[in-house]
Structure 1
Amino acid sequence: MLDLLGERKPFYESIAKIASLGEKEVLTLVVSPISYATLNYFLSKFENSKKAREKLRKFNVISEICSLDAQTIEKGLNSSFKDFEDALQYFSAIESGCELIITRNGKDFKKSLLPVMSPDEFLNSLVKK
């Protein structure tokens, strides 16, 4: 999401295509609540807070927010994930019935039971279908 909302080159193009598929309801974009807090923090460092929140509001229209409850946090705390945020992302995805995780940080999801793909890998998988 940071690559999309921050328009970070060279990663923006691929994630923008995926966001477009979500906007057209070809697929469902599911995002954890922790992502919104993290994104607001980073976007606000590079532009004003008002603009950061407006970008988040627009993205919120084309995505669904998954649950992040006490049980998900407990699973994250007791997991073998080195990065707690990654654990929360993973268990939120599992609890929400997601089919896969799209991230450029795939190395931190090696034990994932869900397929993990980079944006480019995901787009390539669509072409092969």
Structure 2
Amino acid sequence: MRAVVDTCIVIDALQKRSPFDREAVRIFHAAAKRDFAGFITAKSLLDIYYLMHRVFHKDDAVRAEIEKLLILFDLLDTSSEDCRRALSSEVSDFEDAVMVETALRSGARCIVTRNLKDYSRTRIPVFSPQNFLELIGRSE
């Protein structure tokens, strides 16, 4: 299964944000075991770098974490057409709409996020971390 993992899930795992980090780390482990094909968008990668740098203030350390992240998750490019389609999307938040359009174009089957309400009007299934782990057979 091809799944786009939202920025919040990645940050939960990398910054050990309790109580969300537990499921986020399990998603990372599932990606490492190739239980699913995990993706993040290039835009998300920029956000992840920024958020990590704000916490750790060490460019080398953040870049090392990004390199590890790119072993687990492949990057999806966002096209100009994705952005154009997002402008007329029913998803109210533009950044989320761009992620949806990028995911759809890339053939992703779902998006994994904690912010389910932000994706209430999408044309792609959206799962909480817990529901996604159940879907791929990795629930506790």
TM-score by length of 2: 0.85
> Would the aligned equivalents of 1:67 and 1:95 in 2 still touch at CA under 8 Å?
no
Between the two structures, name the one with larger relative contact order (CA 8 Å, sep ≥ 6).
Answer: 2
Counterpart for residue 29 of structure 2: 20
Q: How far apart, CA to CA, are the structure 2 residues paired with 1:120 and 1:103?
A: 10
CA RMSD of aligned residues (A): 1.7
Q: Does 1:2 align with 2:11?
A: yes
- Aligned partner of 2:65 in structure 1 is 55
Q: Given the alignment, which residue of 12, 22, 42 partners 1:33?
A: 42
- 1:102 corresponds in structure 2 to 112
Q: Say if 1:102 and 1:119, in contact at 8 Å, map to a contact too.
A: yes
Identity %: 26
Are the equivalent residues in 2 in contact too, given 1:33–1:66 (CA < 8 A)? yes
Count residues in correspondence: 129
Structure 1: segments with no counterpart, 5+ residues: none
* Structure with more strand by fraction: 2
CA offsets 1:45-99 (integer angstroms, 9 cap, x no match): 1002222221111010111111211111111223233222111111111011111
TM-score by length of structure 1 reads 0.91
Q: CA-to-partner distance for each residue in 1:22-66, whole Å, 9 max, x for gaps? A: 111121101110100111111111002222221111010111111
User: Which of 82, 85, 102 is equivalent to 1:75?
Assistant: 85
